Chains A and B, each alone.
Chain A
Amino acid sequence: MRKIAIIGGGPSAVAVFLQLVKRKAATEIVIFDVNPVGFGLGFSSHSASHLCNTSACVNSIDVDDEHDFLNYLRSNGWSVNAEAFVPRYVVAQYCRERFLRYAKCGDEQGVRTTHTPMIVKGVRPHKTIRQLEIRTSEGSHIVDAVVICVGARGKADFSRMQTDGFSFDPAISTARPFPAEQLLQYARDKQHIAIIGSKLSAIDAAISLCEAGKNVTMVSRSGHFPSVRTRLAKLPRNPFFRSGEPPRRAFDFIHEINSVLKANMAKASKASGHAARSLNFDILSAESGNNIWQEYVADIIDSANKYLSEAPARTREKIKFRTKHLISRYISSIPLSNAKKLQQFCEKGTLRIIVGNAHQFRRQGEKICFGPMDSPHYCDGLVIADGTINPAIRREHGELRVSFASLPEFHETLSIEELNSAGIWLSGGLSASKFPIVNYLKFSVDNAKSIVDDLIRKS
């Protein structure tokens, strides 16, 4: 008898669940999530305009079948190639359908699946038996092992905006980028809307609002859009690396990436200084196939997670710092079709992007204003889309808790190895302390296999 708990119910959790069922690694699986299983934050948008920025070929949640998502799409009548960027809601419905399929499959094999819609307060070793106790809002559950798959959360640090002595209640005066229908409802009686952020969720919000006829100002620290790609796919043998594969040593790896990107960045820098010009350059590069950097992205993510996870924490942090620009501009680049929409809105004058941050926002009467005090910009709505925050594990009163606060002490007190030996595994955003790029579905799917390998080995 082996009872395994999965805490969290997003795509990472479904990937683990699939592996547990397929490999008969549990007799009972309990999934704890207050929301239905299968729908995570990353794929929570219902809008057909909000596209994945990863190609369909890397979105399979079945590690044993890399074409699973493509086959799902095709069986539902989608005429898409492997490189296509599909709407995110399709990935969410795919995850849900796969969960239902494998729950049924498990049931036929004698694997019982339960979804427990409760908040998990903490996990601790049981006092008398070699099992784990999961404490929820409504009681305790005893299990043999726990896989924690709690995903990222939208930042909600409104305190940064309560400046300048103005009374400001951002919780009721602002909107989040998703769901799109709530955003549009919020924007219904507004004309000028500011969006804090210029990355993926901010871009989705900008597209939705501009399509609804609103004037949008994006405010971000960079004042630029991410670069543009036509695919994020994994090549069987990447011709851009000298040996066909990324170098195995962390510093060699970074060195090689930087040297490859140098040429592209040199060209891009000529267009920099002006967001729209830079966007036009990136669109032209993508259309003409000159954005060769895009062929590296999948390998960069895989290799970074593979090799850098083995490097000491300080080295990892150093490399992450050195590649920050690379990650924000290239790894988080956007699909060409979305970039062209942004371009159209910029040309039409309904969209602009400026350098700024959340500190600059304040309330003036009925209006929200930002920018210099002597010549502020005004808007009547504000969307907060400045990214997500990964969770971390902390130890408190003898039990482990998931937290979204910054917790450096985690590194000093608990290692992933220590957790594993206690019967606890981490997936998705929670493993950010070890793996540099975790907000990528394929990483979670690959990780799910390693986790279940470990679980089987240690059972």
Chain B
Amino acid sequence: MKVALVNPVSSGNSLISAFEDFGCGILSISSDGISLPDGTSYQHRSFDETLNHLRAASVNHVLAGSEYGIALAEQLAHALELPTNDMSIQEARLNKFSMFERLKSEGVQVAPFYSVAHESQLDELIRAGLKYPIFIKPKASAGTDGCLRCENHVDLTNAFLKISKQRNLLNRINSEVLVQEYIRGTQYIVNTVSLGGHHLPCEVYRVRIDEIDGIPVYRSIVACDIDYTDATIQQAVAYVETCLNSLGICNGAAHTELRMTENGPSLIEVNSRIMGPALYVDAFFNAFGYSQSSLLAESCVHPERFKRRFVLPKKMKKHFAMVYLRNGQSGGRIAGRSGLEIIRRLPAFHSLVKIPSLGGSIKHPLLTTGEFGIAYFAHHDLPLFEHSLNVLHALEDEGRLYEVV
């Protein structure tokens, strides 16, 4: 079997391994200025050219290798008549404003949202009754890039001017931004793999977010009991399935973020790709016995085996967390990593990935891109697991993870 992966960067690397484990040949395609490390990828220049190349290679699947590959992967798969998502509503998966419009039209509960191109529109929205706090973010970007919570008019105007017309992490200009009433409640992540319109929840996470100066700072995501007997988790999963159906997601991976408000679930965003920014497959296997990447590969290579999972009971082996490491709030040049020794000795420690190099500079200490490294924790004993996480967070808060100059 041959699988084409469009822009397999960050967590997309885990997809390459997952398919290779099943003996699949990988054809990496780079587009939108994304450079792939091995130099063996196919460089996308025009749609027809790439299409012909894939047709000649007889690929069986075309999948997004990251946020940067979603649009092209779906278009290529569709043109090759391979399994993908509903192309008639692709815009609703790529653009956050269209996403909310689509969900609203389908009767799915979402927080009030607006698309704003000019500063003057902000005043109109406030006059029309939009209430603070207000959340502002690019219509399409990655991580928490450009996301800001605004408490008043000055905050809102400054935030708008800061991100509007600027180039975002997807290398696109924020011609319009999404403005939304702030959604209060605990944030959850639901990762899924879909096949033929059926959705398998792989993992459900509770997200710890600290807000620093209005910027949401992702600290850790902690897996919830995967048997989904908890009413809140059941509600979250059911809501996500409704969103996926409304957005035409039928095949492949999705990573959905939502908040559980007083009035029920409310969507933050659906991304039709695997979770980012980096996935260390062994850590997920240690806790769940699979990873989202391995399930996606299985759904393509062994669909019958994958389908059995829809009815099999689910059980998490260990408690699991993924921590986006921080080092206090200041940037600078990394001169040492003495705190890692402490983390590695914690009972629930599993692994560390994307550790920054000595001499490397930390420019955006609050951004959730895994710039400071990612730690995986897994342990069968919940109190010990939580204790280890607390020690790690204390170390981060005290800025003792890395020596920064």
Binding site for B on A (CB under 8 A): 36-39, 45-49, 76-78, 89, 92-93, 96-97, 100, 179-181, 184-185, 188, 208, 211-212
Contact = CB atoms under 8 A, between A and B. Distances in A.
A96 B384 contact: yes
B346 A181 contact: no
A208 B398 contact: yes
Contacts of B345: 76-78
A100 B381 contact: yes
Given A180-B397, A208-B398, A96 B381 contact: yes
Nearest to B384: A96
A208 B271 CA distance: 40
Given A47-B398, A97-B347, A211-B398, A39 B383 contact: yes
B400 A46 contact: no
A181 B393 contact: yes
Given A76-B345, A78-B345, A96 B400 contact: no
Contacts of B387: 39, 46, 89, 92-93, 96
8 smallest A-B Cβ distances: which pairs?
A36-B383, A46-B394, A46-B390, A47-B394, A46-B391, A181-B397, A181-B394, A184-B397
A184 B398 contact: yes
B388 interface: yes
B390 A96 contact: no
B161 interface: no
A185 B382 CA distance: 24
A56 to B, nearest CB: 14
Contacts, number: 65
Is the contact region of chain A dominated by helix, strand, or loop, or is it mixed?
loop
Given A39-B387, A97-B347, A181-B394, A49 B381 contact: no
A8 to B, nearest CB: 15
B397 A48 contact: no
A279 B346 CA distance: 34
Interface string B336-347: 000100101111
A181 B384 CA distance: 18
Q: From A96, A179, A181, name the one whose CB has the most chain B CB atoms within 10 angstroms.
A: A181
A378 B399 CA distance: 27
Interface string B198-225: 0000000000001010000000000000
Contacts of A184: 397-398
Contacts of B346: 93
B9 interface: no
Contacts of A179: 390, 394
Interface string B363-405: 0000000000000000001111001101101110111100000
Given A89-B391, A181-B394, 9 more contacts: A36-B383, A46-B391, A46-B393, A78-B345, A89-B387, A89-B390, A96-B387, A180-B397, A180-B398
A49 B391 contact: no
A92 B383 CA distance: 11
A454 to B, nearest CB: 30
